[in-house]
Structure 1
Amino acid sequence: MRSGARAVLALGANVGHRAQTLHAAVEALGATDGITVEAVSTIVETAPVGAVPDQPDFLNAVVLVRTDLDPHALLAAAHAVEAGLGLDRSTKVPDGPRPIDVDVIAVGDLGDDVVLDEDGLVLPHPRAHERDFVLGPWAELDPDAVLPGAYGGRVVDLLTRLHHGEGPA
């Protein structure tokens, strides 16, 4: 019997050996006490999004995990994986290039933009509903998935809106 909450993690890398780094991140997550990797999406290549457009393209994937960790401990585990693969959070430029990024997108049914402020964690991830590189791989893994929260909904519906230029709900 599986225990714990289901969580959705998004991985991205645009510096160094991107595919190897994503695979290493999945392995490191799976080796973390309290985390069981259930499924890994296809890797997709995407253009950078945000304030730093002049940088290499990203490779992205979504990982579905089962976890006994609370959201803060899951975020700490994600940060430990990032650090182990070369990300220095003290010098990380928001939206800038990085060897790895592990974002906690959703944990269980925590929704309605729950701010767990001790470490800045917001669930669900505040921009997940507008990111094709999260929604597409997530829908591939779980076509019935629902993003909780104020901007949430069925992941496939959110993805369809983005693809039709309707923007986020």
Structure 2
Amino acid sequence: MIKVFLLLGSNLGNRAETLNKATELIANGVGMVTAKSSLYETQSWGKTDEPDYINQVIVLQTNLPARSVLNKVLAIELAMGRTREVKWGARIIDIDILFYGDDVIDEPGLVVPHPQLHNRRFTLEPLGELAPDLQHPVLKKTILQLKSELKDDLIVKKL
């Protein structure tokens, strides 16, 4: 079994309910969910005039290869009504693979660890809650160290 960390986010509709539904679909189709962070309300990143997000990190165990995990979470996004019209635009659901075990993957359409996770407070706060001592396999720093070096000053508050 591979330990996978996913970041969930929503800034449209009932955001908390959306994350719960996404977690349920992931548990039913991707792997057993073993941990969930608290919910964090986050200012919109990248396109800052959008509504605030609720973000959460979940941990799952799966036997699926990374590409299959990606395909399944993309299918879940689509089934939940995700559209991709504007980069960093508002979305009902966003699911990102943060870590897939200790693997480093750089393929077209699939880069793991997530290439921006170390720059984003909305990712590191919930990730740090679950795995502060987890070491980034490329940067060779723990999540706690990455949080301490963070320059992102967007407001991220635990709900």
Asked whether the two chains share a fold, i.e. TM above 0.5, the reply is yes
User: How many residue pairs align between the two structures?
Assistant: 153
Does 2:19 correspond to 1:26? no
TM score, norm. by length of structure 2? 0.90
Counterpart in the other structure of 1:121: 110
What is the deviation of 1:138?
A: 1.1
Structure 1 segments (4+ residues) deviating >3 Å = none
Q: Distance in 1 between matches of 2:8 and 2:16?
A: 11
Q: Which residue identity is paired with 1:44? A: Y
Q: Distance in 2 between matches of 1:67 and 1:20?
A: 24
Give the % identical residues: 35
Q: Which residue identity is paired with 2:44? A: P
Counterpart in the other structure of 1:110: 103
Which consecutive residues of structure 2, in runs of 5 or more, have no partner in the other structure?
154-159
Q: Distance in 2 between matches of 1:64 and 1:6?
A: 7
Q: Higher relative contact order at CA 8 Å, sep ≥6: structure 1 or structure 2?
A: 2
- What are the within-5 Å matches in structure 2 for residues 27-46 of structure 1? 27-32=24-29, 34-46=30-42
Q: Deviations over 1:29-66 (max 9, x none)?
A: 0011x51101010000011111x221100000001111
Q: Which residue identity is paired with 1:36? A: M
Counterpart in the other structure of 2:12: 15
Counterpart in the other structure of 1:82: 77
Q: Distance in 2 between matches of 1:128 and 1:100?
A: 18
Counterpart in the other structure of 1:101: 94
Does 2:142 correspond to 1:145? no
Pick one of 47, 55, 67 that aligns with 2:50: 55
Counterpart in the other structure of 1:157: 145
CA contact (8 A) 2:3 2:60 kept: yes
Q: Distance in 1 between matches of 2:146 and 2:9?
A: 20
